[in-house]
Structure 1
């Protein structure tokens, strides 16, 4: 039974005789329809065959018959004629027609008939090989594999070149490891020795299937199969290992490459070198480049570019310029991104004039490269240099929106309000629409000039334009409004910012909280706090103190309890004055028991400036009134351990409470004795 493979489609071009290509093309042409022959047409073709019963006549009739079913009837009719003998060519035509029509099972039957027809292995086998190539040419790969399986099943050994052609299209179109392994296993069964190309294709398919260990195993066993690794082998293995992030194994193979005498070609270096630098394996990349030089292989543009970028980013500008001159001498042109990296290298070394001269000497007219130099002048040059370079860029028509953004940002940061709006107007007139970068710079400039109302109007305009300013300008605007006492506008601004994904830093929130402490709007303050928590901001001691004080001032006991407990739990200590205010407030509301977690933790701190004599007395008094007598006694112990004397109010409360509860006489007598001793009573 012949193995039936799953259907799939892929592309490939195989060299075939012109006659076969022409016939196959006519069969696959859309205009070649499958219309059934009527009775008279069919009998007419039978009559033609009867008059000239010859294989060539049958081939011509099959070629001119668009209806596949009629072609099959005609083929079977002549097969029954005792004086007619089929040839390999007649089988080729009917098999081809069936295959192109995707009637694989019938096609397989005729392939088997052909192999058993007695034409001789050479004719039968060559016909099937031609069919494999023809099906590949027309993207009929199910059919090509089925023909191949018939050949192998009947003991025919296809040549390695035939197998490689089939493997090549399967791998190139990534049609799955199962199909590739089927072909390879059939090859092994027939004891056909693979060549290096076969193993290269197998390893590529294994990489595509993610079977890295199998690739390494095949690579290490190549010599046992009588094959030597070539340049393509190393390209597949090294690039595959790097692509699968197995850099340690790739390094082993690369060391072998560098030390070997293998004839490496340009394709290997063009593939591997960029990958090494992309993976930041720069040392190995440089070693491989030296190997390339030793073999006198001239780099292509991709190799030149990755090396120039590496040297530029490493600030080895002499090496970068040397390679750039090689590129120019070969009439090649590097991409804009390479020039940007090269110019950026000069700017990092503060060689701004050299960077500009480089662009002029190489007649660069790309705005991206000039923008890098412009930014360099903005950061390290003077106002005159910036304006001089920008004027040249305008005169040469090499500005874009980013160029104007850089200039406006520079003018805004340096508070050149006299010309920043002129530049903005000129930008719009030149056809460049201001973007968020330009508006961000203008907002910063307005805030620095203390024109926060104008800055706020600009912000709303930006929102209307559906643009988003950067976080630094948003932060500057928030601070400006706070410092100018416009805290109500800050609350609204934060709501806008939340919608557009803008957030504040911890420092910004500290400023906001200080400003909000003057307001009587506790709800707004809690809204801000909630926003801080959602954004993942950590609340500082100062922020907690302001929240707790505000909640106490505004008689919000639940929130006061929440944030006092949370503050102490996070290991932060409240201000002593604010702690006293908040505990006094909670005592009035009979809520001291709710902050017992915080009180216990503060007791462990042993800081007398926090839980001092006065606060402890207040806590004992309050907790006793709230029914938490055990906790009150613990605090009494703290007072006595510290040598403090309870105040008169606490003394009277504990004594009177102790005598009134008969079920605790012994305990209360003990407390009375202790208190009496504390007050010096006999």
Structure 2
């Protein structure tokens, strides 16, 4: 396809946009400063470089992927020089914004085009619609398309070729169909891939009649149907339970390809119609249309139902038909044995396949790992996991969690940590419960520093903390050596909208008070204690006493007011602190009596309760 740019623009030795830009700025800089700068710039630029040349620079910048900053440098200086952008200029700007991920800014430029005396053309709408679809904003892209129709803008060929598949991919079959018909009515050359995209979308939405009509139209125009079209239509029939229609469709078109036949086999097996699947397999085998995948489809179906005996019968017929079992066959057998609870048999098949260098898929291995963990065969499960890791494959999150939990229960926490690291290196994403399992084991072993190191790794790996994970981590960090980290973590927890349970809150408050760090979490405590489900007089007493001892009397008063609003009376020890009858040990080792004075709420806290509290103290 011929390039839209002149030969000079396509040169890779020196980017033309740079050389033209240099000439442009040199001419502006040499202008007589006594003249009007804008007029001088326009006059000079007109003699040196035109709007079309500026557009060529901008197109080259986009084409060569020079980046947003380089593009904007040229664009801004072009505007400053008085060269008024046209629709092609703005198309380049919108395109570079979309490629840079600034879709909202691109939309803003799109909506402001009329203010710049520019009318969007087909390319403008194509760029914006494609960007919105790629960003998952399909409904907005449809709105933009409707605006295009209202403006009477006629789509060009490139628009149809790009937008129809996008609408189909995102399940906008009505819009895709309408565009397709518009393309036909405008006499534009139709493409097989467009038919394929539309047929696939129609089948996905159970519009089989429309899909078949389109398929027949394709044949009438002399196009050769793609294999994927047959597969899509067969899958559509199977999805609706119309297996007879699917067989008739394949027979009438005299299909001599295997994939559509395999699609029908899968359809039978998906609804447990194994007898019909077996009969159809024999039929296509006689016609020479079966392959190893055809046999494996039925073998896998029997194994998924835990019927390994029938699967072996199919394997025997497969061998008679000159097909030898492959990796998919053995993977299916392993799954079958796991479904029957025969994990020893499954392990034997796995080892046999491993000896003969046959790869067992990760799905079957994951099922075997889960089964072995279930029967406490942790060592063998670890062996299989390491086999998969050596192949660069991952396991399911569930099987990884069971394996790590099993190692922790066996006291092999270091092995669990190694397996977790190995899993992450192979693309596994660990569940929060997986981390929690290791953290709890490290906590029981009193290895706080290891907990801190693992937590750092979790953050680097992008682990999303949930409320249960915060609870485990807070329990882990509430020690003398990591109490500061606990304060930071508690603030972070509350900031993200998580509320701890009462037991965790009491543990945090007690340890923070002991370490005189309540003032570091006072704002978070206020939010938590105000929460309806966690109002506790005991916690409030500890907070008030602790804040007073730390020298934060005003903050203590706020919690005291909260107690009074809830109708609670502080305990005798807190009373004594508040009225100055108890010594408060300060950080410098001295003692000082604190007399709370000030506002009415504070001065009247024990109008009725003070005498009772004092009597209790005297009695004690």
- Identify whether the pair has TM-score above 0.5, normalized to the shorter chain: yes
Matched residue, 1:419: 345
Give the C-alpha shift of residue 544 in structure 1. Answer: 2.4
Q: 1:307 to 1:455 in 2, by over 3 A?
A: closer
Give the C-alpha shift of residue 280 in structure 1. Answer: 3.7
For residues 275 and 648 of structure 1, what CA distance do their matches in structure 2 show? 78
* Residue 675 (1) aligns with residue 606 (2): yes
Among 256, 271, 275, the alignment partner of 1:333 is 256
For residues 646 and 377 of structure 1, what CA distance do their matches in structure 2 show? 70
Normalised TM-score (structure 1): 0.56
Among 516, 520, 530, the alignment partner of 2:446 is 520
Larger Rg: 1
Alpha carbons 2:206, 2:236 under 8 Å: kept: no
Matched residue, 2:328: 402
Matched residue, 1:136: none
Deviations 1:619-645 (A, max 9, x none): 222111211111112222233333333
Among 275, 278, 287, the alignment partner of 1:353 is 275
The equivalences for 1:290-369 within 5 A come to: 290=213, 297=220, 302=225, 306-307=229-230, 309-315=232-238, 316-328=242-254, 332-334=255-257, 336-363=258-285, 364-369=289-294
Alpha carbons 2:477, 2:483 under 8 Å: kept: yes
Structure 2 residue matching 1:362: 3-state secondary structure: helix
For residues 429 and 317 of structure 1, what CA distance do their matches in structure 2 show? 41
Among 551, 562, 569, the alignment partner of 2:495 is 569
Matched residue, 1:641: 565
Give the C-alpha shift of residue 322 in structure 1. Answer: 0.6
* Residue 392 (1) aligns with residue 314 (2): no
Matched residue, 2:295: 370
Matched residue, 1:97: none
Give the C-alpha shift of residue 358 in structure 1. Answer: 1.1
For residues 299 and 406 of structure 1, what CA distance do their matches in structure 2 show? 42
Alpha carbons 2:370, 2:399 under 8 Å: kept: yes
Matched residue, 2:383: 457
For residues 585 and 292 of structure 1, what CA distance do their matches in structure 2 show? 72
For residues 528 and 228 of structure 2, what CA distance do their matches in structure 1 show? 64
Matched residue, 2:358: 432
Deviations 1:131-178 (A, max 9, x none): xxxxxxxxxxxxxxxxxxxxxxxxxxxxxxxxxxxxxxxxxxxxxxxx
Give the C-alpha shift of residue 341 in structure 1. Answer: 1.4
Q: 1:508 to 1:635 in 2, by over 3 A?
A: same
For residues 539 and 215 of structure 2, what CA distance do their matches in structure 1 show? 81
CA RMSD of aligned residues (A): 4.6
For residues 415 and 508 of structure 1, what CA distance do their matches in structure 2 show? 25
Q: 1:418 to 1:643 in 2, by over 3 A?
A: closer
For residues 467 and 218 of structure 2, what CA distance do their matches in structure 1 show? 68
Q: 1:391 to 1:529 in 2, by over 3 A?
A: farther
Q: 1:249 to 1:571 in 2, by over 3 A?
A: closer
Matched residue, 2:308: 383
Give the C-alpha shift of residue 562 in structure 1. Answer: 1.7
For residues 665 and 291 of structure 1, what CA distance do their matches in structure 2 show? 85
Alpha carbons 2:512, 2:518 under 8 Å: kept: yes
For residues 426 and 316 of structure 2, what CA distance do their matches in structure 1 show? 36
For residues 210 and 598 of structure 1, what CA distance do their matches in structure 2 show? 50
For residues 671 and 249 of structure 1, what CA distance do their matches in structure 2 show? 69
Deviations 1:585-610 (A, max 9, x none): 21121111111022210232144xx4
Alpha carbons 2:126, 2:162 under 8 Å: kept: no
Alpha carbons 1:343, 1:369 under 8 Å: kept: yes
Q: 1:372 to 1:298 in 2, by over 3 A?
A: farther
The equivalences for 1:2-151 within 5 A come to: none
Matched residue, 1:494: 420
Deviations 1:342-370 (A, max 9, x none): 11111112111211221211214411122
For residues 356 and 596 of structure 2, what CA distance do their matches in structure 1 show? 95
Normalised TM-score (structure 2): 0.61
Alpha carbons 2:218, 2:225 under 8 Å: kept: no
Deviations 1:534-558 (A, max 9, x none): 4554434333233222322455221
Which sections of structure 1, spanning at least 5 residues, go unmatched? 9-205, 223-233
Structure 1 residue matching 2:478: 3-state secondary structure: helix
The equivalences for 1:647-666 within 5 A come to: 647-656=571-580
Alpha carbons 2:278, 2:298 under 8 Å: kept: yes
Matched residue, 1:61: none
For residues 570 and 256 of structure 1, what CA distance do their matches in structure 2 show? 50
For residues 640 and 7 of structure 1, what CA distance do their matches in structure 2 show? 83
Structure 1 residue matching 2:530: 3-state secondary structure: helix
Structure 1 residue matching 2:263: 3-state secondary structure: helix
Relative CO higher for 1 or 2, CA cutoff 8 Å, sep ≥ 6?
A: 1
For residues 221 and 517 of structure 1, what CA distance do their matches in structure 2 show? 67
For residues 252 and 440 of structure 1, what CA distance do their matches in structure 2 show? 46
Which sections of structure 2, spanning at least 5 residues, go unmatched? 9-121, 130-144, 584-590, 615-620
Q: 1:666 to 1:347 in 2, by over 3 A?
A: closer
Deviations 1:248-282 (A, max 9, x none): 6763476589999x9x9xx9696654232134477
Aligned length: 455
Alpha carbons 2:487, 2:520 under 8 Å: kept: yes
Q: 1:410 to 1:524 in 2, by over 3 A?
A: farther
